Structure 1
Amino acid sequence: MSQGQTPLQKPPGYRDIPIQRLQPPPARKAAALPPSFYQKKRRNWCRMCCCCTCISLVLLILLIIAAAAFFYAWFDPKLPVVHLKTIKFTKFNVMNTDAGPALDAQSSLDVEIKNPNKHFEMEYDKTRMVLNAGNGANLGEQTLPGFTQEKNNVTTLKFTIKASQELLAKKDADKFINGFKNKNLVVSPEVRTGIGLKGNRWKTGTVQVDVICAGMTLNQIQNSATPKCRIKLLDW
């Protein structure tokens, strides 16, 4: 029977050395950027966007101007030419009413419109005719439907104008009657419509215009005078 081995004895003064476990170094935190850095970057981005937008707008405007200049030089668009042809009164009666002198009148009026353009047609909106006398009295009005005018074409618009119980100033009533009898009554037709251009596969929108015919006497008109009317486009 064998005896167990005796464990080794530690010499006097011996002590255990503790084992140190190495820890991984702590991760470094990224240095925080100052707020001014982000503000400057945002300003630069906004500035770049504004510059690109402005350049795009300038180029677009230049392109539109160039296209309009080419269109005008190539097609040479012209406004219509308008003449007052005839005015004939079929009724003209001044009567006394409780409110004062009043006018009942009816007239037929012809206006000639010429399209001088050879490359495109002209479109007209509803056409409203108002006939005024030289003293400001309203001799009636009428509205005709819109229409399309062919290239290099002449069209005559026929209006039937009526005035019913149109009050007159007492001091002007006698002058008004005498002016009609002597054919020196001044009349001023005014036309309000919209005009636009029309090609084979395209057309523009209409622009509002006023056509103002120069004041003419009945005698001048009956003697075949055909005054040219003035076109007022966009308050010009």
Structure 2
Amino acid sequence: MSQGHPPLQKPPGYRDPSIPIRRPQPQPLQRKAAALPPSFYQKKRRSYCRICCCCTCIVLFLLIILIIAAGAFFYLWMDPKLPVVHLKTIKFTKFKVTNTDAGPALDAQSSLNIEIKNPNTHFELEYDKTRVVLNAGNGANLGEQTLNGFTQGKNNVTTLKFTIKASRELMAKKDADMILKGFKNKNLVLSTEVRTGIGLKGNGWKTGTVQVNVICAGMKLNQIHNGAMPKCRVKLFDWVYVN
């Protein structure tokens, strides 16, 4: 019986031609992002801040222009005027100086009428609480009173009636003698200050009120009794407007 030959060994590096060749796929190169310096981001933030500031300034400027234009149009169209104020009458029902342990004391009572005219034909005037103070020419307090707020119609004349009282007002003897003498001969110089707030009111709209002081000074009692109606100064903000 014959013996078979052993199978031949494949040499090193032998490749079976029936097996397809698999070539490795090339991998894409990954680039590492370059780190940007911190100054780049700071410059970018500053740029955004500048843009925001510029836009804000432009918007504010346009709003201011619109407000000024609207105010100018309102003023030209409405032609707003301050009220005209006159001191109408002052009548004393009591005026007495008595000597006390602390010095001369004044007790006085008077009725005071102030005439206010609204010269505006397009809107009404709204008044806050109105406080009136009556003083003698040397600064002695003759009393005060406060009235509630009210609305005055267009092109309307309103008379405010106050009852002024001063009780036990102490003063120097020299001032007491001068005031008493002036009251008796009707040469007593009086001054009145009216403090209130005034606003505008139209059909469906109204403004806020602004502080107004009305000063009626340098009036002699005999002039008022003879029918004189002294004009008063209206002070708005830091301006003084004389009626």
**TM-score, length-normalised on structure 2?**
0.90
Q: Indicate if the aligned counterparts of 1:120 and 1:151 stay in contact, CA closer than 8 A.
A: yes
Which residue pairs with 2:208 in the alignment? 205
Structure 2: how far apart are the matches of 1:45 and 1:113? Answer: 57
User: What residue identity is the alignment partner of 2:195?
Assistant: R
Q: How does 1:124-203 map to 2 (within 5 A)?
A: 124-203=127-206
User: What is the identity, as a one-letter code, of the residue corresponding to 2:94?
Assistant: K
Pairing partner for 1:218 from 205, 215, 221: 221
What SS does the aligned partner of 1:215 have?
strand
Question: More deviation in 57-66 or 21-30?
Answer: 21-30
Pick aligned residue for 2:84 from 67, 77, 81: 81
* Structure 1 position 94 matched with structure 2 position 97: yes
Distance 1:169 1:30, change over 3 A: same
| Amino acid in structure 2 at the alignment position of 1:215 | G
What is the alpha-carbon distance in structure 2 between the residues aligned to residue 108 and residue 128 of structure 1? 14
How far the C-alpha of 1:220 sits from its partner, in A, is 0.9
Q: Distance in 1 between matches of 2:25 and 2:162?
A: 109
CA distance in 2, matches of 1:2, 1:25: 61
1:225 to 1:16, Cα distance in 2 relative to 1, 3 A: same
Could you tell which deviates more after superposition, 162-171 or 57-66? 162-171
Structure 1 pair 219/40, CA: closer, same or farther in 2 (3 Å)? same
Q: Specify every segment of 5 or more residues in structure 2 that has no aligned partner in the other structure, as ranges.
A: 16-21
Aligned residues: 233
CA distance in 2, matches of 1:75, 1:84: 27
Contact kept, 8 Å, 1:214 with 1:228, in 2: the verdict is no
SS in 1 for 2:49: helix
The letter of the residue matching 2:71 is A
Map of 1:31 onto structure 2: 34
Structure 1 residue identity aligned to 2:210: V
- Hey, what's the Cα distance between the residues in 2 that align with 1:161 and 1:218? 15
Q: What is the CA distance between 1:26 and its match in structure 2?
A: 5.0
Read off the aligned partner of 1:204 and give its amino acid letter.
Answer: T
Q: Structure 2 residue aligned with 1:51, among 51, 54, 58?
A: 54
Task: After TM superposition, give the deviation of residue 9 of structure 1 in Å.
Answer: 3.3
Taking the aligned partners of 1:88 and 1:4, their CA distance within structure 2 comes to: 158
Amino-acid identity (%): 79
The CA distance in 2 between the partners of 1:184 and 1:167, in whole Å, is 21
Relative distance call for 1:30 and 1:156 in structure 2 (3 A) is same
Greater alpha carbon shift after TM alignment, 199-208 vs 24-33: 24-33
Cα distance in structure 2, aligned partners of 1:21 and 1:197: 90
RMSD (Å) for aligned C-alpha atoms = 2.2
One of 113, 118, 134 as aligned partner of 1:115: 118
CA distance in 2, matches of 1:128, 1:223: 26
Letter aligned with residue 45 of structure 1: Y
Q: TM-score, normalised by structure 1?
A: 0.92
Over 3 Å counting, the alpha-carbon distance change for 1:62 and 1:25 in structure 2 is: closer
Please give the alpha-carbon distance, in whole angstroms, between the structure 2 residues aligned to 1:107 and 1:100. 23
In structure 1, C-alpha distance between the alignment counterparts of 2:98 and 2:108, rounded to whole Å: 11
